């Protein structure tokens, strides 16, 4: 349930409610919006609690949240979450583009890609240093050396970096280098990892599990939020269906659904959603038209030599072409490209 505070209520009333909730073995999560201040109540509440809370000074009303996810719901927080990364705002009016190789392979590969995607207007550099690999014989990443290469690319281009953290033990290490932590599809329900990134003081991007329902995805988001980390964005990266033509099926409808039921920013990843480079641009445009706050696109200097995901990686030229196409779609929605790109 959520406790909606009266407009003229003060900090003392809020503190008293939080204290009272703690006495009942419950946790109160505060959300201060432009229009109202609410306290989300998390834990096993008993039926009379609602009446009791409504009697407390400063309380306007107590509304039950019917959904199993609470802190990620629009009921708890009507206004959009906007995440600041340097000058960049993710989840606001502007479309944010994340681009880079699937995996960090070498210094040259990352620096070359970082320069090219920056010149084309990308806002954030991606690259995996710790790679989840379906086969133990596949490329599993350069580890810390890869993180150092990403940091070097940030130094040179000024682009913030996002990179995957594969396990709870690596969170501290990845935090030393990354601007945004990525939790991959295969780890969406790694609850120990979710708890750990929930304690971090850096933004997190949670990818949708390949067989996860929207509700399961939001419940995973809830793990991170309930640990105190509110700098969370979601990423639709395609789900498994009976179709084998594409690597996954991009659930475009998940984008407006997330927008409706949650305040969290939603990023679309047409690269992993399709597995085919020539499907990336059409699906990227569709995702933006559907309301995505950002895109994540795999780009490689030479996709046919890529150690991972070459088939779905764009060349520099194709990435630049996509950026130019995006400008028109974004403008038609009355939005802007972040960083002032005009193609
Ligand atoms: C990735 O973005 O590098 C990745 C491994 O994607 P996913 O977790 O969506 O498969
Ligand atoms: Mn990849």
Angle between helices 254-261 and 214-226 in degrees, nearest 10: 40
Where do the domains of the chain lie? 2-63, 83-340
What does the pLDDT read at residue 65?
A: 87
Whole-model pTM: value is 0.95
Pocket perturbation via mutation, ligand 1, pick of 182, 212, 217, 247 by most ligand atoms within 8 A of CB: 182
List of E strands, 104-197: 124-126, 161-164, 180-183
Contact 212, 189 (CB under 8 A): yes
CATH number for the domain whose boundaries are 2-63: 3.30.70.1140
What the block records as the tokens of 131 is 């790679």
What does the pLDDT read at residue 341?
A: 57
Residues in the chain with pLDDT < 70? 341-343
Cα–Cα distance between 235 and 255 in angstroms, integer?
Answer: 9
Q: 137 phi and psi, to 5 degrees? A: -90, -5
E strand or H helix at 38: strand 37-42
What does the pLDDT read at residue 45?
A: 82
70: Cβ below 6 Å to ligand 1? no
208: Cβ below 6 Å to ligand 1? no
What does the pLDDT look like over 291-333, one tens digit per residue? 999 999 999 999 999 999 999 999 999 999 999 999 999 999 9
Cα–Cα distance between 41 and 208 in angstroms, integer?
Answer: 26
Look-up of token digits 């994540």: 296
Pocket perturbation via mutation, ligand 1, pick of 102, 134, 185, 295 by most ligand atoms within 8 A of CB: 185
> What is the fold of 83-340?
TIM Barrel (3.20.20)
What does the pLDDT read at residue 343?
A: 43
**Which residues, in sequence order, are CB contacts of 60 under 8 Å at separation 6+?**
4, 5, 6, 7, 9, 36
What does the pLDDT look like over 110-137, one tens digit per residue? 999 999 999 999 999 999 999 999 999 9
127: Cβ below 6 Å to ligand 1? no
Residue 169 sits at the vertex; the CA angle it makes with 264 and 138, to the nearest 5 degrees, is 90
What the block records as the tokens of 117 is 């995607």
User: The dihedral of CA 238, 333, 315, 86: what is its sign?
Assistant: negative
Residue 250's CB is within 10 A of a number of other CB atoms, namely 25
What is the atom index within ligand 1 of the atom nearest the CA of 131?
5
- Alpha helices (H) along 158-276: 171-175, 191-198, 214-226, 254-261, 270-274
Pocket perturbation via mutation, ligand 1, pick of 98, 101, 102, 274 by most ligand atoms within 8 A of CB: 102
Radius of gyration in angstroms for the set of CA atoms belonging to the chain, rounded to a whole number: 21
What the block records as the tokens of 112 is 């070359």
Cα–Cα distance between 75 and 64 in angstroms, integer?
Answer: 9
Cα–Cα distance between 281 and 314 in angstroms, integer?
Answer: 9
Tell how far the Cα of 331 is from the centroid of ligand 1, in angstroms. Answer: 29
């Amino acid at each position: 349930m959520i406790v909606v505070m009266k407009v003229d209520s003060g900090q003392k009333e809020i503190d008293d409610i939080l204290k009272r909730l703690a006495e009942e073995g419950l946790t109160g999560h505060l959300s201060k919006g432009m229009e109202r201040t609410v306290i989300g109540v998390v834990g096993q509440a008993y039926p009379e609690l609602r009446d009791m809370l409504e009697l407390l000074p400063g309380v306007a009303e107590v509304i039950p949240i019917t959904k199993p996810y609470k802190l990620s719901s629009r009921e708890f927080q009507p206004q959009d979450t906007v995440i600041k990364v340097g000058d960049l705002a993710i989840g606001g009016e502007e479309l944010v583009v994340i681009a880079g190789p699937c995996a960090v392979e070498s210094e040259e590969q990352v620096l070359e890609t970082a320069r090219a995607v920056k010149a084309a207007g990308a806002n954030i550099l991606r690259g995996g240093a710790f790679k989840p690999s379906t086969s133990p014989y596949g490329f599993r990443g350069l580890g810390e050396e890869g993180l150092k290469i990403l940091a070097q690319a940030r130094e040179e281009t000024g682009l913030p970096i996002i990179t995957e953290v594969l396990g709870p033990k690596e969170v501290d290490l990845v935090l030393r280098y990354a601007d945004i932590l990525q939790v991959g599809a295969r780890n969406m329900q790694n609850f120990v990892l979710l708890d750990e990134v929930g304690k971090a003081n850096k933004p997190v991007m949670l990818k949708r599990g390949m067989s996860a329902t929207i509700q399961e995805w939001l419940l995973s988001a809830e793990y991170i939020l309930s640990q105190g980390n509110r700098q969370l964005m979601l990423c639709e990266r395609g789900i498994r269906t009976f179709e084998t033509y594409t690597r996954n099926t991009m659930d475009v409808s998940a984008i407006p659904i997330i927008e409706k039921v949650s305040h969290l920013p939603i990023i679309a990843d047409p690269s992993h959603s399709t597995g085919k480079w020539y499907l990336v641009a059409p699906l990227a445009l569709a995702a933006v038209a559907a309301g995505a706050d950002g895109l994540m696109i795999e780009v490689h200097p030479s996709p046919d030599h890529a150690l991972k995901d070459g088939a779905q990686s764009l060349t520099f030229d194709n990435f630049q072409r996509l950026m130019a196409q995006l400008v028109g779609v974004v403008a038609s929605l009355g939005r802007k490209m972040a960083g002032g790109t005009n193609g």
